[in-house]
Amino acid sequence: MTTTTGPGLAGVPLSLTPLNRKDFVSDQEVRWCPGCGDYAVLATFQGLMPQLGIRRENTVIVSGIGCSSRFPYYVDTYGMHSIHGRAPAIATGIAMTRPDLAVWVVTGDGDALSIGGNHLVHALRRNVNITIMLFNNRIYGLTKGQYSPTSEQGKVTKSTPVGSVDRPFNPVSLALGAEATFVARTVDSHRAHLTEVLSAAITHRGAALVEIYQNCPIFNDGAFDSLKGADGGLIPLRHGEPVIFGPDNARCVVRGPDGSLRVAYVEDVDPAEVLVHDAHADDPGLAFALSRLTDTADLVTAPIGIFRDVERPTYDDLARDQLTVQTDPGERITSLQKLIAGGDTWTV
């Protein structure tokens, strides 16, 4: 059996014939609202899959509940549209029992961070070999517009008519707090960036969390417009490169004497002060500090790209390594017969 080079897909058989985008388009009519950011992610995903070179039938997509969780229906691989919040748990059972599958989880901000928060942090903590696409539109769409755990404080919705009072999660900070081995953020409309990040995520061996900023034109239109200011709000992160961003790369991230990070104008600082991104640092501290540059309220700046990408043995590999699997059915029965008799028998 041949395999791809990415360790995340080691064990997943390669396709014997080249595949193309159409091979990953199912016969189901896509039913998201016009203008929904999910369309762009779906198209990008369907464009990425053939490039991975793995067999179509060895791909599984598991989703929870919400608009984005309809995703598996539209991709012609194996898939399960499950129940609210539980996709990471279901994917864990799949990844543990089938190392020959590429396992994707599709989830949203309500699904992953509210009802399914426990499963998300534990899948990340364990480092199960799954890739999680978290579509963050900062709103409940399918239930028609209630505030979500990533909505900014003060959000006025039908369930919070005078403004929400609870602080939002920063999904990247949360994932890093769970010591996830791969944490990234990208944007629905940046096709090249999305492709690059998803490709890195699936070839990473271990739990990968990719937060995707995704616009909901119906209930939270323009949720990320604040990042499109004249000064440029998105801060691209590239391993080994200085963190500079904005029009003409005029701005940068610098580390202060106390280790904290701040945004500055390049012209105002010594070039040696500009932070050089290290996604492979074993300590998640720097990645966490970068994640805090995301202002979850007004959202004027947000780093995108791979915050953290480190190697650590996966839960499923370690669990399988403890086992002896008997492949011969006869031998399996014979040894089980001996096991159930135990050591303390008597014969009548």
Q: Note whether 219 and 145 are within 8 A (CB).
A: yes
CA torsion angle for 327, 333, 336, 338 (degrees, to 10)?
Answer: -120
Q: Of 37, 106, 101, which Cα lies nearest the Cα of 71?
A: 106
Rounded CA gap, 255 and 31, in Å? 46
Using CB under 8 A as the binding rule, whether residue 280 contacts other proteins is answered as: no
**Out of 3, 7, 50, 98, which residue is the one contacting other proteins (CB under 8 A)?**
98
**Out of 44, 46, 58, 150, which residue is the one contacting other proteins (CB under 8 A)?**
58
To the nearest whole angstrom, how small is the minimum distance from the Cβ of residue 323 to other proteins? Answer: 5
**Out of 89, 183, 290, 304, which residue is the one contacting other proteins (CB under 8 A)?**
89
CA distances (Å), origin 159, targets 144, 148, 154, 164, 273? 10, 10, 12, 8, 46
**Out of 21, 30, 39, 73, which residue is the one contacting other proteins (CB under 8 A)?**
73
Contacts of 320 (CB under 8 A, 6+ apart): 96, 99
To the nearest whole angstrom, how small is the minimum distance from the Cβ of residue 22 to other proteins? Answer: 13
| SS3 label, residue 176 | helix
Determine the interface stretch with other proteins among 45-53, 96-104, 106-114, 228-236 (rule: CB under 8 A).
96-104
Q: Based on CB atoms, which residue is closest to other proteins, 1 or 192?
A: 1
Rounded CA gap, 127 and 129, in Å? 6
Which amino acid appears at position 92 of this protein? Answer: T
Using CB under 8 A as the binding rule, whether residue 346 contacts other proteins is answered as: yes
To the nearest whole angstrom, how small is the minimum distance from the Cβ of residue 39 to other proteins? Answer: 18
Q: Based on CB atoms, which residue is closest to other proteins, 107 or 215?
A: 107
By the 10 Å C-beta count (0-12 exposed, 13-18 middle, 19+ buried), 97 is classed as: exposed
To the nearest whole angstrom, how small is the minimum distance from the Cβ of residue 122 to other proteins? Answer: 4
**Out of 20, 97, 153, 249, which residue is the one contacting other proteins (CB under 8 A)?**
97
- Binding residues for other proteins (CB under 8 A): 26, 28, 55-60, 62, 65, 72-73, 76-83, 86, 89-98, 100-101, 118-119, 122, 319-320, 322-326, 329, 332-333, 335-337, 339-342, 344-348
